[in-house]
Amino acid sequence: MVAQVTMKDLQSPVEPTWCPGCGDYGILNAVKRALVQLGIPPHQVAFFSGIGCGSKLPDYIRANGFNSLHGRPVPIAQGFKLAHHDMVVIVVDGDGDNYGIGGNHWLHVMRRNINITHIVQNNMVYGLTKGQYAPTSMKGFVSSTSPEGTIEWPINPIAIALAAGATFVARGFAGDPKHLADLIAKGIQHKGYALIDVFQPCVIFNRINTYDWFRERIYKLEDDPNYDPHDKRMAWEKAHEWGDRIPIGIFYINEDLPTLEEQIPALSEKPLYQHEIPPKLEDLEALKLMFV
């Protein structure tokens, strides 16, 4: 993994269809930077996305991609990873995908510690379907499906990730692609499941949580010398900070747990897709004896 990879290597022939100014550009940029930084060549990384504005990202980067169903990239990525575990697997999906319709897959992937990096494009709104509220929309958010403001409290992705057993929990900001690239690179390097929730301004449908709104509030956890991301208690505190000051950076990291792949005997030698099939005839014949 110390190949020389340039931004150009990652250049897709497809032009992004995102609105000018959309936060997704920053995320795309950060993802590329991270791959360059780590020297991961495009054929050794596979992106899995859902359906939504941000989920179009795999088409906009030269790499393996799978644009799947709304809310469903996480299980596909897991199946893929278990079949090809030396591939770098990255899920990119929206807050609707992952915290809305796909919430159950998320809840369960976190306790498996499978080595996948998960970037959630959190614009706190449904972009592609034209502006309904999202699970992360702030209470009172007015949208076409909440004309008088939402009456549900938003999901706190960081807190839930901590509670559900994620071993790497971070938050980035699309307006700071350099910092975000660093988080993504760390997430990829992390042995296990890494969540990177990204504040991603939607310049069309979310007129509340704008670049300015975020810039006025966010600060970096790593700037606090007392903050220890290995301390879950601290992470839990910070996860609840919202309002005037909102932390970004790595909330929590735990490097001590084995990954899912490491615990599956069939994967100890080589990736599953390289296993020869069919099995040996003598093994099959021996199996028959079970039924005598």
Ligand X SMILES: Cc1ncc(C[n+]2csc(CCOP(=O)(O)OP(=O)(O)O)c2C)c(N)n1
Binding site for a copy of itself (CB under 8 A): 101-104, 107-108, 111-113, 135, 148, 151-156, 159-160, 162-165, 233, 236-237, 239, 257, 260, 263-265
* Interacting positions 203-222 with another protein (CB under 8 A): 204-205
Q: Which does 246 bind (CB under 5 to 8 A by kind): a copy of itself, ligand X, ligand SF4, none?
A: none
DSSP 27-50: HHHHHHHHHHHHT--GGGEEEEE-
CA distance 223 to 226: 9
x/- contact string, 40-79, with Mg ion (CB under 5 A)? ----------------------------------------
Q: Which does 64 bind (CB under 5 to 8 A by kind): ligand SF4, Mg ion, another protein, none?
A: another protein
CA distance 99 to 101: 7
143 binds Mg ion (CB under 5 A): no
Q: Please, which residues have CB within 8 angstroms of residue 96's CB and are 6 or more apart in sequence?
A: 50, 52, 70, 71, 126, 134, 135
Residue (14 or 208) nearer to another protein, CB = 14
Direct distance between the N- and C-terminal alpha carbons of the chain, in angstroms, rounded to an integer: 50
Q: How far, CA to CA in Å, does 148 sit from each of 56, 141, 152, 205, 222?
A: 31, 8, 12, 16, 39
Q: Alpha carbon 231 to chain centroid distance?
A: 22
Helix, strand counts (H, E) of the chain: 9, 10
Of the CA atoms within 13 Å of residue 274, those in its CB half-sphere come to 10
* Interacting positions 6-65 with another protein (CB under 8 A): 14, 17-20, 41-44, 46-48, 51, 53, 56, 58-59, 62-65
Q: Shortest distance, CB of residue 257 to ligand X, whole angstroms?
A: 25
Task: Name the segment binding another protein (CB under 8 A); options: 66-74, 164-172, 187-195, 229-237.
Answer: 66-74
Q: Which does 20 bind (CB under 5 to 8 A by kind): another protein, Mg ion, a copy of itself, none?
A: another protein
Q: Shortest distance, CB of residue 66 to a copy of itself, whole angstroms?
A: 22
Q: Shortest distance, CB of residue 126 to ligand X, whole angstroms?
A: 4
**Both tokens assigned to 41:** 């060549």
